[in-house]
A and B are shown apart, each in its own frame.
Chain A
Amino acid sequence: MRQPGAYSNLLSGGKMGPHSLPLARIKKIMKKSGEDVKMISGEAPIVFSKACELFIEELTKRAWAMTLQRKTRTMHKEDVAAAVMETDIFDFLVGLVSHTPNPSATLES
């Protein structure tokens, strides 16, 4: 039986709160990754929730460094693309960021 807060505590470093990313969606994406992915343990999406958070944080940090180089205060997709290009472990994203559809470059705070 699930204890309330047992998992959210793990994810938010002691603070109560929901997962930062929806587990059902993560599971769907995992299943779409390949025909061989048939069964996924209950803990795997929870682990991915944390891993994705770390990934997004790292890529954002690197993209922000690119934004600062452009001497502006708004991050655009070009900054994310530049961060991907200059980081070896993000090589798997090169194809994705170099061939993206027309962006909706709407400013948002």
Chain B
Amino acid sequence: MTDGNERLLPIANVGRIMKKIIPPGAKISKDAKETMQECASEFICFVTGEASDRCLKENRKTVNGDDICWALTSLGFDNYSDTMLTFLHRLRDTRPTPTNKTILLCTTCTQHKD
């Protein structure tokens, strides 16, 4: 059971996303949610595989957000890729880069590093 749980997204989270789409009062059976869990995991594996192949071809070891966005487009999920690219750029703008972090650390410690 633990293995099965670990390879699927939690049914509560999946059910919550599904519920946003259907009208109030409509119901989703447990088997529909379970099927959606399986589909979502398969989606992650499918896209990751494509992204990973790209990394291999480019001799890179780390799968990053750009690879995921590229894989989505490559596999026909064009309608997601615009949203995802915007999301990714906003994420990077928000997140400190390694360079920024080093500068921040330097400022805090009043030591200079390369």
Contact = CB atoms under 8 A, between A and B. Distances in A.
B44 interface: yes
Interface string B88-111: 101110111000010010000000
Contact of A60 (B36, B45, B62, B84): B36
Given A28-B6, A51-B84, A39 B61 contact: yes
Interface residues of A, dominant DSSP: helix
Nearest to A53: B17
Nearest to B68: A47
Contact of A64 (B22, B33, B56): B22
Nearest to A30: B48
Contacts of A52: 9, 40, 43-44
Interface residues of B, dominant DSSP: helix
Q: How large is the interface on B (under 10, 10 to 19, 20 to 34, 35 or more residues)?
A: 35 or more
Contacts of A92: 42-43, 46, 75
B35 A33 contact: no
B63 A39 contact: yes
Contacts of B84: 47, 50-51, 54
Contact of B10 (A25, A28, A55, A64): A25
Interface of A: 1, 3, 6-7, 10, 20-22, 25-26, 28-30, 32-34, 36-41, 43-44, 46-48, 50-61, 63-64, 67, 73-77, 79-81, 84, 88-90, 92-93, 96-97, 100, 103-109
16 contacts: A1-B101, A25-B6, A28-B7, A33-B46, A47-B91, A51-B77, A51-B84, A55-B40, A60-B21, A77-B32, A79-B32, A89-B75, A92-B43, A96-B42, A103-B35, A108-B28
